[in-house]
């Protein structure tokens, strides 16, 4: 008997990285060695001081029980301490900090707390697919804010129609940005706070890449702007900062009412983060930032990949943050055509820009979370197939 799926499931587009995994597996079955520049999963190990803390805490029987739904107070205090030291932002750890099973979980669930059928969510295009997916699962609709290169990959808030503003409940922004690697200034965040206050919209700032920065650049926090806590929250993850993608721990900070509402959703959907992982997260936050060697390694990879693809004639601007290049595709290809061409001809995976939204057409995203030797091999393969343009 055929089972009928809910309409919300039918509305969901195929998840981008699941599609990439299927394509990779198809090529591997043909006996090909695949090199992936597709998914942003750090290949460098979790720092040893975090792993050692996890080993120690996992032996403690007190950590073998159900954790707090909102997270250990010790972890939330560590988050507040990190925010004050890093951004000069003061947070109440009891009411303005919530522990998450990775920031993806919180981002996906926050529409459930505020969005009813017929409500709108403002999402960047191109943008992290979970903004769209979480909105659809909550029964809402979305309005896309184009991120154009000529505007520094910042949305033009003045172009959002008045009727859309009236129906919008949430607005997602993300800086440093995935997939474009664009960055935002405090002046832009001031504009966002003013826009949100005037239109009574909750801002959800995804700051997962704030600590992966280069050449002296430091990413600001949305919450540094006066009044930001009145209109929104900021999501963070330990995944990128401390190479902890598989550990699944993150947090959201900011407006206490928004935090409380998301916390209520979570009490019905999960049982919190394993306490031993939270203790390891505290150790990470006490350290405060990625190892210098990690950032230097990413910078070397960035420069190596940029040098190689520029020799082939592709256009790209060196990013100040993240570990992605947002690369224009040759004019004779669409984004998906170019992705398939590189996979079939060279065994190299990149991510089509259209996987992040319609405005991603004309670009592919390349992640440099793999060793320099593999990046050199990528360039050799592309030279071999005559990719020079």
Kindly state the average pLDDT of the residues 118-134: 97
pLDDT score of 31: 82
pLDDT above 90 coverage of the chain, percent: 85
User: CB within 8 A of 6, min separation 6: which ones?
Assistant: none
d(C-alpha 287, C-alpha 269), whole Å = 31
Kindly state the average pLDDT of the residues 65-83: 97
Provide φ and ψ at 237, rounded to 5°: -140, 150
Contact 51, 58 (CB under 8 A): no
Kindly tell me if the per-residue pLDDT of 389 is higher than 60: no
Kindly state the average pLDDT of the residues 124-149: 97
Kindly tell me if the per-residue pLDDT of 250 is higher than 70: yes
Strand partners of residue 183: none
CB count within 10 Å of CB 39 equals 16
Q: What is the β-pairing status of strands 232-237 and 202-206?
A: parallel
pLDDT score of 3: 83
How does pLDDT run across 160-202, given as a tens digit for each residue?
Answer: 999 999 999 999 999 999 999 999 999 999 999 999 999 999 9
Provide φ and ψ at 21, rounded to 5°: -60, -40
pLDDT score of 388: 57
Strand partners of residue 97: 253
Kindly tell me if the per-residue pLDDT of 245 is higher than 70: yes
pLDDT score of 129: 94
Domains and CATH numbers, the chain: 7-45+291-384 (3.90.1150.10), 48-287 (3.40.640.10)
324-328: strand order across its sheet: 324-328, 363-367, 351-352
d(C-alpha 369, C-alpha 351), whole Å = 14
- CB-count exposure of residue 60 (10 Å: 0-12, 13-18, 19+): exposed
Q: What is the average pLDDT score of the chain?
A: 94
pLDDT score of 267: 95
CB count within 10 Å of CB 127 equals 26
Confidence band for 15, pLDDT divided at 50, 70 and 90: low
Confidence band for 18, pLDDT divided at 50, 70 and 90: confident
d(C-alpha 248, C-alpha 88), whole Å = 26
Tell me the two tokens of residue 136: 């659809």
How does pLDDT run across 29-64, given as a tens digit for each residue?
Answer: 888 899 999 888 999 999 999 999 999 999 999 999
Kindly tell me if the per-residue pLDDT of 335 is higher than 80: yes
Buried b (16+ CB within 10 A) or exposed e, 186-207: eebbbbbbebbeebebbbbbbb
Confidence band for 6, pLDDT divided at 50, 70 and 90: confident
């Amino acid at each position: 008997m055929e089972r009928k799926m809910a309409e919300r499931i039918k509305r969901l587009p195929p998840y981008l990285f699941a599609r990439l995994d299927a394509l990779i597996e198809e090529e591997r079955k043909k006996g090909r060695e695949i090199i992936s520049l597709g998914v942003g999963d750090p290949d460098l190990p979790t720092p040893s001081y975090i792993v050692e803390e996890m080993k120690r805490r996992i032996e403690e029987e007190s950590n073998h029980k159900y954790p707090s739904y909102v997270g250990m107070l010790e972890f939330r205090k560590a988050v507040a301490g990190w925010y004050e030291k890093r951004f000069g932002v003061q947070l109440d750890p009891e009411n303005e900090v919530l522990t998450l099973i990775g920031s993806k979980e919180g981002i996906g669930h926050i529409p459930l707390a505020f969005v009813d059928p017929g409500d709108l969510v403002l999402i960047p295009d191109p943008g992290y697919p979970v903004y769209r997916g979480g909105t659809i699962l909550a029964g809402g609709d979305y309005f896309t804010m184009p991120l154009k290169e000529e505007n520094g990959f910042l949305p033009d808030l003045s172009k959002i129609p008045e009727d859309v503003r009236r129906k919008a409940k949430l607005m997602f922004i993300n800086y440093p940005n995935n997939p474009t690697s664009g960055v935002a200034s405090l002046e832009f965040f001031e504009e966002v706070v003013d826009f949100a206050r005037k239109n009574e919209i909750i801002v959800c700032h995804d700051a997962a890449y704030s600590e992966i920065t280069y050449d002296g650049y430091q990413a600001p926090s949305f919450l540094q702007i006066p009044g930001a806590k009145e209109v929104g929250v900021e999501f963070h993850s330990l995944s990128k900062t401390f190479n902890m993608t598989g550990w699944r721990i993150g947090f959201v900070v900011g407006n206490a009412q928004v935090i409380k509402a998301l916390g209520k959703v979570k009490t019905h959907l999960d049982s919190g983060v394993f306490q031993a992982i939270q203790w390891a997260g505290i150790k990470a936050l006490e350290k405060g930032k990625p190892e210098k060697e990690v950032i230097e390694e990413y910078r070397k990879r960035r420069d190596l990949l940029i040098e190689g693809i520029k020799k082939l004639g592709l256009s790209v601007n060196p990013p100040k943050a993240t570990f992605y290049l947002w690369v224009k595709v040759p004019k004779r290809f669409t984004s998906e055509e170019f992705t398939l061409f590189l996979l079939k001809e060279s065994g190299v995976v990149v991510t089509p820009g259209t996987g992040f939204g319609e405005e991603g057409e004309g670009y592919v995203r390349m992640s440099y979370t793999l060793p320099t030797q593999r990046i050199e091999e990528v360039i050799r393969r592309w030279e071999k197939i005559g990719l020079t343009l």
